């Protein structure tokens, strides 16, 4: 087995374990949201008819901020430990799957700095949001507190009863807050993992001379990740995952041929349909799927262009992964329309 194939297999399995880990972390941390829901309900029942809505809304916002900050603080603590584990995993993988006799450890100082100094570059439509883990946690806390206060004020204006207000706010915390908090954990965990592993690769740039963008071969993959699948970049360059909230793509290191074990072997990579050749790109995989899968991934108009053979999967986005609108595609590739 070649080193590159071994690393693909290793990181594919690792991503599955990380998905389970982040889901477990989100479930463990939901205790703070459960306590928040109970305290908000208690506060509303005791004060809603006795305190002005504006004043009570501010009190609820303060309670929400306290609990969500506790959620974020414990999440960040877990991410610091997780980052160290991921750097160790990357080092052990290089030792086991390459011809390198020694592999340098990553800088723990650099890994810790990911929380506050290394922004996630998350694509949404035509814009990219650069936000660190620390900033994302603070923004989440601020936004959730505002939502609770606004829901109380809106309910008071509509003349809702105490029980109706309690149902509205506890429902908000138990559904939207919980779902978005899980997304925050999943995305920040993925970001920390990628950055920690990258630090290991940079510390061993004689062994690793680049990386390959590797998307998940299924119908849930975004156009952004599908278009970048298979692209190769020098170390510390390129659009490193995670590229959007809930991104599942991964950066697979490419081994310097001097340290590669059996580079002539192609190997396999996982897909939702089972194993496929390791050199199969997302575009090649998508061509073999049902039309409904192509429409699910690309949308109906882009799927028509893809099926016609006039535009490859990589033509739907720019180099950073931002998706071109249909008018932009028409302007860039007029012969495809």
Tell me the per-residue pLDDT of 210-230, one tens digit each, with 9 for 90 and over.
999 999 888 999 999 999 999
Q: Which of 211, 226, 259 corresponds to the end of one domain?
A: 211
Tokens at residue 118, please? Answer: 């290394």
- In this structure, the number of other CB atoms found within 10 A of the CB of residue 264 comes to 6
DSSP annotation of 244? S
User: Cα(192)–Cα(303) distance, rounded to whole angstroms?
Assistant: 34
pLDDT value at residue 337:
79
Query: Three-state secondary structure along 308-322?
Result: HCCCCHHHHECCCCC
Q: Is the pLDDT of residue 183 over 90?
A: yes
Q: Which of 161, 184, 211 corresponds to the end of one domain?
A: 211
**Same domain membership, residue 143 and residue 41:** yes
Give a yes or no: residue 247 inside a domain: no
Give a yes or no: residue 260 inside a domain: no
pLDDT value at residue 310:
86
pLDDT value at residue 57:
97
Q: What mean pLDDT comes out for the span 147-164? A: 97
pLDDT, tens digit, for every residue of 107-145?
Answer: 999 999 999 999 999 998 888 999 999 999 999 999 999
**Residue written as token pair 């809304």:** 57
pLDDT value at residue 263:
57
Question: Could you tell me the pLDDT band of residue 262, with boundaries at 50, 70 and 90?
Answer: confident
Give a yes or no: residue 261 inside a domain: no
Give a yes or no: residue 113 inside a domain: yes
Q: Is the pLDDT of residue 281 over 90?
A: no
**Same domain membership, residue 318 and residue 195:** no
Question: Could you tell me the pLDDT band of residue 267, with boundaries at 50, 70 and 90?
Answer: low
Do residues 152 and 185 touch, judged by C-beta distance below 8 A? no
**Same domain membership, residue 37 and residue 184:** yes
pLDDT value at residue 270:
62
Beta bridge mates, 316:
none
**Same domain membership, residue 305 and residue 200:** no
pLDDT value at residue 38:
97
pLDDT value at residue 265:
57
Question: Could you tell me the pLDDT band of residue 8, with boundaries at 50, 70 and 90?
Answer: confident
**Same domain membership, residue 173 and residue 318:** no
Question: Could you tell me the pLDDT band of residue 268, with boundaries at 50, 70 and 90?
Answer: low
**Same domain membership, residue 313 and residue 184:** no
**Same domain membership, residue 206 and residue 109:** yes
Give a yes or no: residue 254 inside a domain: no
Q: What mean pLDDT comes out for the span 280-289? A: 87
Q: Which of 162, 193, 211 corresponds to the end of one domain?
A: 211
Do residues 316 and 298 touch, judged by C-beta distance below 8 A? yes
Domain count, the chain: 2
pLDDT value at residue 63:
97
Sequential DSSP letters for 213-224: EE--SSTT--HH
Note the pTM of the prediction, 2 decimals.
Answer: 0.90
Give a yes or no: residue 330 inside a domain: yes
Which range among 91-105, 151-165, 224-238, 281-295 shows the weakest confidence by mean pLDDT? Answer: 281-295
Residue 336 is part of which domain span? 290-337
pLDDT value at residue 333:
85
Q: Is the pLDDT of residue 177 over 80?
A: yes
Torsion of Cα atoms, 181 then 187 then 190 then 192, to 10°: -80
Give a yes or no: residue 195 inside a domain: yes
Q: What mean pLDDT comes out for the span 101-105? A: 96
pLDDT value at residue 264:
55
Average pLDDT of the chain, as a whole number: 92
**Same domain membership, residue 79 and residue 177:** yes
User: Cα(225)–Cα(196) distance, rounded to whole angstroms?
Assistant: 21
**Same domain membership, residue 204 and residue 299:** no
Q: What mean pLDDT comes out for the span 192-207? A: 97
301: nearest Cα among 277, 328, 274? 328
Q: What mean pLDDT comes out for the span 181-207? A: 97
Give a yes or no: residue 253 inside a domain: no
User: Cα(214)–Cα(232) distance, rounded to whole angstroms?
Assistant: 9
User: Cα(191)–Cα(250) distance, rounded to whole angstroms?
Assistant: 10
Q: What mean pLDDT comes out for the span 295-307? A: 92
Question: Could you tell me the pLDDT band of residue 274, with boundaries at 50, 70 and 90?
Answer: low
**Same domain membership, residue 162 and residue 58:** yes
Q: What mean pLDDT comes out for the span 96-107? A: 96
Q: Is the pLDDT of residue 96 over 80?
A: yes
As a whole-number percent, the residues of the chain with pLDDT over 90 amount to 78
Q: What mean pLDDT comes out for the span 160-168? A: 97
**Same domain membership, residue 152 and residue 299:** no
As a whole-number percent, the residues of the chain with pLDDT over 70 amount to 95
């Amino acid at each position: 087995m070649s080193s590159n194939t071994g690393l693909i297999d290793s990181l594919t399995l690792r991503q599955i374990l990380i998905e389970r880990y982040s889901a477990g972390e989100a479930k463990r941390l939901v205790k703070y949201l459960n306590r928040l829901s109970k305290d908000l309900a208690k506060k509303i029942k005791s004060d809603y008819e006795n305190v002005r809505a504006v004043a009570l809304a501010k009190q609820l916002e303060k309670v929400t901020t306290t609990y969500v900050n506790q959620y974020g603080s414990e999440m960040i603590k877990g991410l610091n430990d997780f980052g160290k584990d991921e750097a160790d995993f990357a080092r052990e993988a290089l030792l086991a799957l390459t011809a390198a006799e020694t592999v340098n450890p990553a800088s723990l100082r650099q890994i810790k700095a990911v929380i506050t100094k290394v922004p996630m570059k998350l694509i949404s439509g035509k814009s990219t949001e650069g936000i660190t883990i620390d900033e994302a946690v603070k923004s989440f806390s601020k936004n959730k507190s505002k939502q609770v206060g606004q829901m109380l004020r809106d309910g008071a204006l509509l003349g809702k009863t105490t029980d109706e207000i309690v149902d509205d706010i506890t429902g908000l915390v138990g559904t939207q807050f919980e779902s978005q908090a899980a997304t925050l954990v999943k995305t920040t965990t993925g970001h920390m993992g990628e950055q920690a592993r990258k630090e290991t690769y940079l510390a061993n740039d004689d062994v690793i001379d680049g990386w390959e963008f590797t998307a998940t071969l299924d119908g849930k993959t975004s156009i952004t990740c599908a278009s970048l699948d298979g692209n190769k970049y020098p170390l510390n360059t390129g659009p490193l995952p995670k590229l959007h909230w809930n991104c599942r793509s991964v950066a697979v290191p490419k081994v310097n041929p001097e340290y590669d074990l059996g580079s002539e072997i192609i190997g396999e990579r996982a897909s939702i349909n089972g194993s496929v050749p390791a050199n199969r790109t997302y575009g090649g995989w998508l061509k073999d799927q049902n039309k409904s899968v192509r429409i699910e991934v690309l949308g109906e108009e882009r799927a028509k262009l893809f099926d016609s053979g006039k535009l490859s999967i990589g033509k739907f986005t720019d180099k950073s992964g931002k998706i071109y609108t249909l008018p932009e595609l028409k302007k860039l590739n007029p012969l495809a329309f």
